[in-house]
């Protein structure tokens, strides 16, 4: 009996989700820059670890400030926070027992130190599920029927069906195949449009939180969505920036996070545009009251 090839759907989902995650992270990282880093510390590394962990540890090595990831914590103070930490570099180099507030300082990226990566990973996984559902639903709903035949004819049957799906005429080599063929009507309903709408909603949620834009090809809708989302999204980004900068300033650490120039300009233009609209509406109301 011919073996049916098993597809690892979970592996497909994970791969698709990973590609989506990388795409969103590229867009998000492009929005922010970090000033004051040493020349031997890549800015991308700091962004990745902030996104992954929600915070980093600042420490001074050879009279230079670095941001590195924490790899352990020890002791509890009267407020329930750790007394000391270990830090670890990507090459495996570890420094143990740095006292917080003296040798090491927590620099948050999110106010609660919750990593953005977990949220984005979940969203990308759901987007990947929608992609797979669309593909499967399109395949099954487009089939003419469910085909059943004798085990000895499976290979010939599969070849004929492939011809038919490719738009070619299916030719059976033997009348025995047709005689032993049973076709049941396909009852699968096409839901691809609904899965696609859900996928678009999920993508727009990510864009609205991290990028301030909408995933649409309609110019008018995209402009309206930008006007609505850009302030909300960049305000979210400013939450990360303000949190990071506040901790750096508190401990007198020479790092500063900020929006890149292009995003800052968009933010200011959106604010100015909203101010103009509000002014015009106020003037119109005043004129009506005077009349």
The DSSP 8-state label assigned to residue 208 in this structure reads I
**E runs forming strands in 1-131:** 32-35, 55-61, 64-76, 82-88, 94-99, 104-108
| Mean pLDDT of the 124-135 span | 93
Q: Specify whether the CB–CB gap between 181 and 158 falls below 8 A.
A: no
pTM, two decimal places: 0.69
Q: Answer yes or no: are the C-beta atoms of 260 and 268 closer than 8 Å.
A: no
Q: pLDDT tens across 217-243, in order?
A: 444 444 444 444 555 556 678 889 999
Q: Which of 115, 123, 124, 122 is nearest to 240 (CA)?
A: 115
Coil, helix or strand for 32? strand
Query: pLDDT of 156-195, one tens digit each?
Result: 767 766 666 665 555 555 555 555 566 556 566 778 889 9
Residue 74, strand partner residues = 84
Residue written as token pair 């901790």: 247
What phi-psi label fits residue 72: left (phi over 0), alpha (psi between -120 and 50 degrees) or beta?
Answer: left
């Amino acid at each position: 009996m011919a073996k049916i090839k098993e597809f690892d759907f979970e592996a497909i989902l994970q791969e698709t989700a990973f590609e989506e995650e990388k795409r969103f992270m590229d867009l998000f990282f492009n929005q922010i820059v970090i000033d004051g880093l040493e020349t031997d510390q890549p800015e991308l590394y700091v962004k990745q670890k902030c996104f992954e962990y929600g915070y980093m540890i600042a420490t001074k090595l050879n009279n230079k400030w670095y941001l590195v990831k924490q790899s352990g914590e020890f002791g509890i103070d009267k407020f329930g926070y750790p007394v000391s930490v270990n830090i670890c570099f990507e090459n495996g180099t570890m420094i143990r027992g740095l006292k917080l507030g003296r040798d090491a300082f927590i620099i948050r990226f999110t106010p609660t130190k919750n990593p953005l990566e977990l949220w984005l990973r979940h969203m990308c996984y759901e987007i990947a599920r929608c992609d797979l559902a669309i593909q499967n639903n399109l395949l099954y709903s487009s089939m003419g029927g469910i085909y059943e035949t004798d085990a000895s004819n499976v290979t010939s049957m599969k070849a004929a069906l492939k011809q038919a799906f490719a738009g070619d005429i299916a030719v059976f080599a033997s009348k025995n195949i047709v005689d032993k063929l049973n076709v049941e009507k396909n009852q699968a309903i096409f839901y691809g449009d609904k899965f696609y709408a859900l996928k678009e909603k999920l993508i727009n949620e990510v864009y609205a939180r991290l990028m301030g834009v909408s995933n649409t090809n309609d110019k008018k809708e995209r402009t309206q969505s930008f006007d609505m989302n850009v302030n909300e999204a960049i305000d979210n980004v400013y939450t990360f920036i303000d949190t990071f900068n506040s901790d750096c300033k508190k401990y007198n650490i020479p790092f500063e996070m900020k929006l890149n120039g292009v995003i800052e300009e968009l933010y200011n233009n959106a604010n100015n545009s909203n101010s103009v609209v509000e002014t015009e509406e106020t003037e119109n109301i005043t004129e009506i009251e005077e009349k």
